[in-house]
């Protein structure tokens, strides 16, 4: 997804500098052209050679460093101006202070000044250093000038303290780069509403009815929508997934909660994609207290009632220009049943997937989807859920 993008990694002297080797490697695997600038202190934690091997590009430390084959080059300008995105991490209090005050006294602080691309700063330091009001003031100043701050995570710090100051995982850092550099923002100005995950229908305060949905497909859709520039709201059933960067998440539990949230949010949404595995039935009555075995020897059934069909409701009240996409999970007659849903729910597209096909469906990171519209049908090969999401947005543009 980062094919051909020029990503500049700025590494300053924190213990977490080693994590940037993973970041560099993950970006290279996505075919990005990765360049690295390190401070002298960073070189005490990890060697520039590591990054040269990983990126196949020269690593710059001194402001007067030049490519061996071009003595006339001006890398302290070219590196920053040539970048599609700059990620500085770990960003120490020192580099944050320099950036916030326009100081350019080494290669890293210098390359940032002429840059015109998104600049992401991932602070990482001791919790008390991070909380220091002067550091916080500098971070605030960077925010005001349009730098994107990636908040440090909380945990046990290498200095022995517990608190906020850890460099987030390489996966999260790469996701931020993708959010700011990966894609053309072809969905900028569009509001996208997505639902994801299972619902839980309470039987009593202890038990509920649910399904195997992991939420991965819906979260991938929300993630890609944000990367392509949309303003994204994700209505999520109970799942164990991180909120995608730049996405507004609304947590719900039951089908009724999801219905209420979706109907409210749908009003001003341009595109609605419904990948949630919404329960079709809920217990008619929810017991106020735990249902006990004793005294209920004959309890062999639970009376159920239908939940509202969210997709159908939104399909019926669809306004001009609004696009509604549903999913269809089947175990037999995939295409035939999915076509019926396209009609009965007044959807613009149904993404059909079969639970019986290996590599598709719940829990896994891949899916095999057929996109069915009134005009045509397109079967995608097995691919990651992120790639499926990307294809869905390509298809929506043609609707
Ligand atoms: N859906 C919904 N509200 C429901 C049930 C389903 O919005 N109460 C949506 C799902 O999010 C999905 C689509 O309808 O986008 C199809 O869901 P699916 O479970 O495949 O089909 P159902 O409509 O529930 O029909 P059936 O269970 O008979 O296959």
Q: Which residues of 169-201 are buried (b: 16+ CB within 10 A; e: fewer)?
A: ebebbbbbbbbbbbbeeebeebbbbbbbbbbbb
Q: What is the pLDDT of residue 270?
A: 98
Q: How far apart are CA 109 and CA 374, in angstroms?
A: 55
- Positive or negative torsion for Cα 59, 61, 63, 66: negative
- For ligand 1, whether the C-beta of 274 sits within 6 Å is yes
Contact of 209 with 278, CB cutoff 8 Å: no
Stretches where the chain sits below pLDDT 70 are 182-183
Contact in structure between 220 and 178 (CB atoms under 8 Å): no
From the CB of 282, is ligand 1 less than 6 Å away?
Answer: no
Q: Which atom of ligand 1 is nearest to the CA of 308?
A: 8
Q: What is the reported pLDDT for 182?
A: 62
**d(Cα 275, Cα 349) in Å, to the nearest integer?**
12
- The predicted structure's pLDDT at residue 56: 97
Q: In 3D, which of 350, 189, 324, 320 has the Cα closest to residue 266?
A: 324
Mutate to test the pocket of ligand 1, among 309, 318, 325 (most ligand atoms within 8 A of CB): 309
Give the CB-side neighbour count of residue 43, counting CA atoms within 13 A.
13
Question: What is the whole-number distance in angstroms between the Cα of residue 285 and the centre of ligand 1?
Answer: 22
311 lines ligand 1 (CB under 6 A): yes
Residue 317 Cα, ligand 1 centroid: separation in angstroms? 17
Q: Going by CA atoms, what residue is nearest to atom 3 of ligand 1?
A: 309
Q: Which residues contact 133 (CB under 8 A, 6 or more apart)?
A: none
User: In whole angstroms, how large is the CA radius of gyration of the chain?
Assistant: 25
Q: Is 35 in the pocket of ligand 1 (CB under 6 A)?
A: no
Nearest CA to ligand 1 atom 28: 280
pLDDT at 215: 97
Distance (angstroms) between ligand 1 centre and the Cα of 259 equals 12
Is the CB of 262 inside a 6 Å radius of any atom of ligand 1? no
Is the CB of 196 inside a 6 Å radius of any atom of ligand 1?
no
Centroid of chain to Cα 226: 8
Decide: 341 in ligand 1 pocket, CB within 6 A: yes
What CA–CA distance (Å, rounded) separates 123 from 94?
10
Distance 278 CA to ligand 1 centre (A): 6
Neighbours of 155 (CB within 10 A): 10
- pLDDT tens per residue across span 136-168: 999 999 999 999 999 999 999 999 999 999 999
How many residues would you count in the chain? 399
Note if the pTM is more than 0.85. no
Give the ligand 1 atom nearest the CA of 337: 29
Q: Ligand 1 in contact with 328 (CB < 6 A)?
A: yes
Q: Is 351 a catalytic residue?
A: no
What pLDDT was estimated at residue 183? 66
**CB hemisphere CA count around 296 (13 angstroms):** 9
In ligand 1, the atom with minimum distance to the C-alpha of 276 is 11
């Amino acid at each position: 997804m980062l094919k051909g993008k020029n990503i500049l990694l700025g590494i300053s002297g924190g213990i977490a500098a080693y994590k940037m080797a993973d970041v560099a490697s993950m970006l290279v695997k996505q075919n990005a052209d990765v360049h690295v600038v390190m401070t002298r202190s960073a070189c005490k934690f990890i060697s520039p050679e590591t990054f040269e091997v990983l990126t196949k590009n020269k690593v710059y430390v001194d402001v007067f460093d030049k490519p061996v084959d071009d003595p006339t080059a001006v890398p302290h300008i070219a590196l920053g101006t040539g970048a599609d995105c700059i990620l500085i991490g770990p960003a120490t209090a020192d580099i944050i202070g320099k950036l916030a005050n326009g100081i350019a006294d080494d290669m890293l602080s210098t390359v940032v000044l002429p840059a015109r691309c998104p600049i992401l700063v991932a602070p990482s330091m001791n919790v008390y250093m991070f909380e220091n009001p002067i550091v916080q003031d500098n971070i605030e100043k960077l925010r005001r000038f349009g730098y994107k701050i990636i908040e440090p995570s909380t945990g046990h710090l290498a200095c022995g303290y517990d608190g906020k100051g850890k460099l987030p995982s390489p996966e999260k850092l790469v996701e931020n780069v993708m959010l700011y550099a990966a894609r053309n923002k072809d969905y900028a100005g569009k509001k996208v509403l997505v639902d994801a995950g299972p619902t839980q229908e309470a039987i009593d305060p202890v038990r509920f009815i649910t399904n195997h949905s992991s939420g991965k497909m819906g979260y991938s859709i929300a993630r890609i929508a944000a990367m392509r520039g949309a303003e994204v709201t994700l209505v999520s059933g109970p799942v164990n997934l991180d909120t995608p960067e730049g996405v507004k998440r609304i947590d719900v539990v039951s089908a009724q909660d999801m219905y209420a949230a979706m109907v409210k949010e749908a009003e001003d949404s341009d595109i609605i994609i419904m990948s949630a595995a919404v329960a079709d039935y809920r217990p008619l009555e929810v017991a106020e207290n735990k249902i006990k075995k004793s005294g209920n020897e004959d309890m062999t059934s639970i009376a159920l009632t239908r939940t509202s069909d969210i997709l159908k409701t939104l399909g019926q009240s669809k306004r001009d220009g609004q696009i509604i996409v549903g999913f269809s999970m089947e175990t037999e007659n995939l295409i035939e049943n999915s076509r019926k849903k396209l009609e009965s729910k007044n959807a613009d597209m149904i993404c059909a997937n079969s639970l019986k096909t290996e590599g598709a469906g719940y829990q896994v990171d891949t899916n095999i989807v057929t996109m069915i519209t009134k005009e045509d049908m397109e079967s995608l090969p097995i691919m990651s859920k992120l790639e499926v999401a990307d294809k869905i947005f390509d298809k929506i543009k043609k609707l």
